[in-house]
Amino acid sequence: MKRYALIGKQLSHSFSPMIHREIYKDFDICAEYELLEVKEEELGDVIERLRKKEFSGLNVTIPYKKEIIKYLDELSEEAEAIGSVNTIALVHGKIIGYNTDYFGFYQSVLNYNIEVKGKHCFVLGTGGAALAVYKALKDLGGYVRYVSRNPKNEDMISYRRLEEEQIDVLVNTTPIGMYPNVEECPVTDKVIQKAKYVMDIIFNPLQTVLLKKADSTMNGLDMLVGQAIKAEEIWQNKKLYSSRDLLKRIGDLL
């Protein structure tokens, strides 16, 4: 039986096992998917377990999407460009890192029919997921900047500065508002009211305070399902189905 795992620091909120099990049922894949909470100093050991084929593949989540890179042999083209990894596979003896967050978010923007080309887009946060979201929005033709508490370059602005900007697309990639701290919101009401489209890559809860205030339902479940399918395509080395099919079933299970 093939064995896969999601590695991260705190994983009790994750829907990933359920999503991957649905994929395994659809394609008659004999596999199991588990949650593996690890400390940063244990990352190297987990990669060695993959090298020894204890696992057939790994996903990576908060807060290790950038830290994991130093333990890998190679990066895929998109992972190299983004500087963040959320999927790992052993290919011909080499540990290779991929970024399927990029594909998941890119597809979710298309699914939600969000107009990005030529629009002013702002990404809350600068972590591993933010890097993938930023590149997807750029590739879709948007004018994109990060929003950070400590802006370090011209691609970043402060949260206070955000209140003065024209906002067409606002995407939260921070954990603010995620279970169990579900009453928190990353930006002010003024910012929310200015934004034409508001997305949150958080999926637990499905509607964060940010989304409620924006009267938006564009949560991170679509991205999560999309990146999971892309990860399985890498691991199984074959094309799978459209994320819309699985998304509806996962939604029915929640």
Domain map of the chain by residue range? 2-99+222-253, 113-217
In CATH, the number for domain 2-99+222-253 is 3.40.50.10860
* Helix, strand and coil in the chain, % to nearest 5: 40, 20, 40
Neighbours of 30 (CB within 10 A): 7
- In this predicted structure, what is the pLDDT of residue 179? 87
**Equal fold, 2-99+222-253 vs 113-217:** yes
Q: In 3D, which of 60, 76, 28, 15 has the Cα closest to residue 238?
A: 28
For the stretch 16-30, pLDDT in tens is 999 999 999 888 899
| Phi (first) and psi of residue 186, to 5 degrees | -75, -20
Q: Which fold has domain 113-217?
A: Rossmann fold (3.40.50)
Q: Which residues are catalytic?
A: 65
- Residue-wise pLDDT for 143-154, tens only, equals 999 999 999 888
pLDDT of residue 154: 87
Instruction: Give tens-digit pLDDT for 105-141.
Output: 999 999 999 999 999 999 999 998 999 999 999 999 9
Q: What is the pTM (predicted TM-score) of this model?
A: 0.90
